Structure 1
Amino acid sequence: MEAVTGKKEPKERGNRKSSRFWRTFLQQKYLYMMSLPFVIWVFVFSYVPLWGWTMAFQKYKPMPTASLWDRVFDQKWVGFDQFQRLFTDDQFYLVLRNTLAMSFMGLIAGFVVPIVFAVLLNEVKNIAFKRVAQTISYLPHFVSWVVVAGIVIKMLSTDNGAVNDLLMWLGIIDEPYQFMAKEKWFWGIVTAADVWKETGWNTIIYLAAMAGISSELYEAARVDGASRLRQIWHITLPGIRSTIVILLIMSIGHLVSIGFEKQFLLSNNLVSDYAQVLDLYALQYGLQMSNFSYGTAINVFNSVVGIILLFSANGIFKKITKESIM
């Protein structure tokens, strides 16, 4: 009898799960239909192109007139030669240093500043001022990096640049300082420009999370005599902890994939050794020099490291804070 019961129980559980799934599917069929276009988009643009990773293991040569099968598989396979070349290239480690340095600076500044700004906005009682400040703060997000780079270069210019004029007016410097020609300033300039551009936009998520905190908690804290700083520390920040952890995990997963637009637009020949990042390195050596296999190997390295960082960060935070995105 037990043997029979033991055989039927898993099957019965499977049937119950299946019926529960279809019942939920029928109840939420419109939500599934709405999400279907986005699932298709992700599949077409994120998963289908993965076949291109095969180029990292080939000595790829374009074959415009050949069939798709021949263009992909009728190539000379070289195994891990491209990766061996990558890891023995001194320029790669210089680029990796720049990428990690700007990534960590951007992660710290671009993560802390929006939280602080969101907390400050949340404490503003004047609704009109709060809305105006929030609108002004996230407008730079919609401005192209081409325009932002032009603004930054003009403000730091030695020819009537606003920053140099202010510093000379305050008596801090006697003559214009060439910010854009100093290698040691480049990482900070890129980080500051990125924070200015994205802080307002990133703040929206935290403000939405704060809106979900019960007002009764603040009322009880005020009755107990808690100051506004105490309310922020014991109610506001714990209330958005889940949001902070999830966004931090996702940000860590993109540490080595920071793009190249801002570095490309703000750099010049004087700071090139501090400006080149992995994505720009792949662009220059992959597309401009028609070395597609080498460029693909760089991007494969980016993706693999990103996945490792994502799973590692998720595992660590899951043990420490019990929060996870998987």
Structure 2
Amino acid sequence: MSSTTTGRPAARKTTAGPAHRPVPARRRFQRRFARERLAVVAFAFLVLLVIVAIFGPWLQPYDPDQQNLSIAFSGPGGGHWLGTDQLGRDVLSRIISGTRVSLVAAAEATGVGVLIGVPIGIVCGYFSGWFDRTVMAANDAVMALPALILAIAVAGALGPGLTHSMLAIGIVFAPRLIRLVRASVLDIRHETFIEASATIGTPTLRILRKHVLPNVLSPLIVSTSLMMAWAMVAEAGLSFLGLGVQPPQASWGAMLGQGYQYTAQAPALIIYPGVAIMLSVLALNLLSDGIRDSLGRELRRK
């Protein structure tokens, strides 16, 4: 007999749909970042700069250090697309050569700051106590000093040169990273998963590496991109003052310092490196904003 005659309802047929697979966090970040158009353009511009820095020796139309006083202060033309400087050197070749110096300088300074600031910030935030109080007191005293003035003092004490100037800038970066990382660690130190790991006997070093450090990476990435922009400006300032790269090596800051003396005769000598610095710093700031917004949405959804 059918189910209708027996009074029992017919069994419903259910079809199981495809299992819902969560989208990985990396894929969600990539999708959100792709919608940040300005950040994508900035990222493409920075990739172009990296390509120019890597293949610069093959892209330079002339030797950037080759002098020819007979064509000094020549305008664009005659095989020199951006003209020549006070010593007859090709400006475009020196701009291309300076790209590598500026990018390497920014990476070196940021790397020094991260290597100093991140470990100290993690230790201060996780353990607290007298070490934290002592370090933060010294940290606040250093941060009270003007950053560029402190960088000039450290670079002057170490001596002129790109490596010394970038070490000085990295030392100036470190206190700011210490405070940032420490604040991030304090926010998660008492989370349940960290306390549970400590309760079951997980070594402290493993907790810091597996649980604490990954949760610090989001604000650290944003801050690092901003610091690279500041490092590029700082390198230009130190090279302008003669504490960065030394002649005849080309960098955008050194070109500004040398061209400043001939502003009346050839204002283009400071316009070209100035525009290069401005666009690079703007791209790094836009990239930082895009990363911050993309990571921010991820954090709000968790």
Normalising by structure 2, report the TM-score: 0.56
Q: Per the alignment, do residues 278 and 139 of structure 1 end up closer, same or farther by CA in structure 2, a change over 3 Å counting? A: farther
Q: Is contact 2:237-2:253 (8 Å) kept?
A: no
In structure 1, the partner of 2:181 is 206
Correspondent of 2:273 among 290, 293, 298: 298
Following superposition, the deviation at residue 199 of structure 1 comes to: 0.8
Q: Per the alignment, do residues 214 and 151 of structure 1 end up closer, same or farther by CA in structure 2, a change over 3 Å counting? A: closer
Q: Is contact 1:153-1:266 (8 Å) kept?
A: no
Which structure has greater helix proportion? 1
Q: Distance in 2 between matches of 1:258 and 1:147?
A: 11
What letter is aligned with 2:216?
A: I
Q: Per the alignment, do residues 93 and 114 of structure 1 end up closer, same or farther by CA in structure 2, a change over 3 Å counting? A: same
Q: Which runs of 5+ in 1 are unaligned?
A: 1-79, 157-179
Q: Distance in 2 between matches of 1:198 and 1:297?
A: 28
In structure 1, the partner of 2:251 is 277
For residues 290-313 of structure 1, the C-alpha deviation after alignment (integer angstroms, 9 at most, x for no partner) is 344442333223233344455667
SS at match of 1:85: coil
Q: Is contact 2:252-2:273 (8 Å) kept?
A: yes
Q: Per the alignment, do residues 257 and 234 of structure 1 end up closer, same or farther by CA in structure 2, a change over 3 Å counting? A: same
What letter is aligned with 1:207?
A: R
Following superposition, the deviation at residue 106 of structure 1 comes to: 1.3
Following superposition, the deviation at residue 229 of structure 1 comes to: 0.9
Q: Percent identity?
A: 11
Q: Is contact 1:141-1:198 (8 Å) kept?
A: no
Q: Is contact 1:139-1:200 (8 Å) kept?
A: no
Q: Distance in 2 between matches of 1:146 and 1:307?
A: 23
In structure 2, the partner of 1:245 is 221
For residues 26-55 of structure 1, the C-alpha deviation after alignment (integer angstroms, 9 at most, x for no partner) is xxxxxxxxxxxxxxxxxxxxxxxxxxxxxx
Q: Distance in 2 between matches of 1:252 and 1:264?
A: 18
Q: Is contact 2:263-2:270 (8 Å) kept?
A: no
Normalising by structure 1, report the TM-score: 0.52
**CA-based RMSD:** 3.8
Q: Which runs of 5+ in 2 are unaligned?
A: 1-75, 85-89, 298-302
Q: Does 2:110 correspond to 1:134? A: no
Q: Does 2:191 correspond to 1:191? A: no
Correspondent of 1:218 among 167, 176, 194: 194
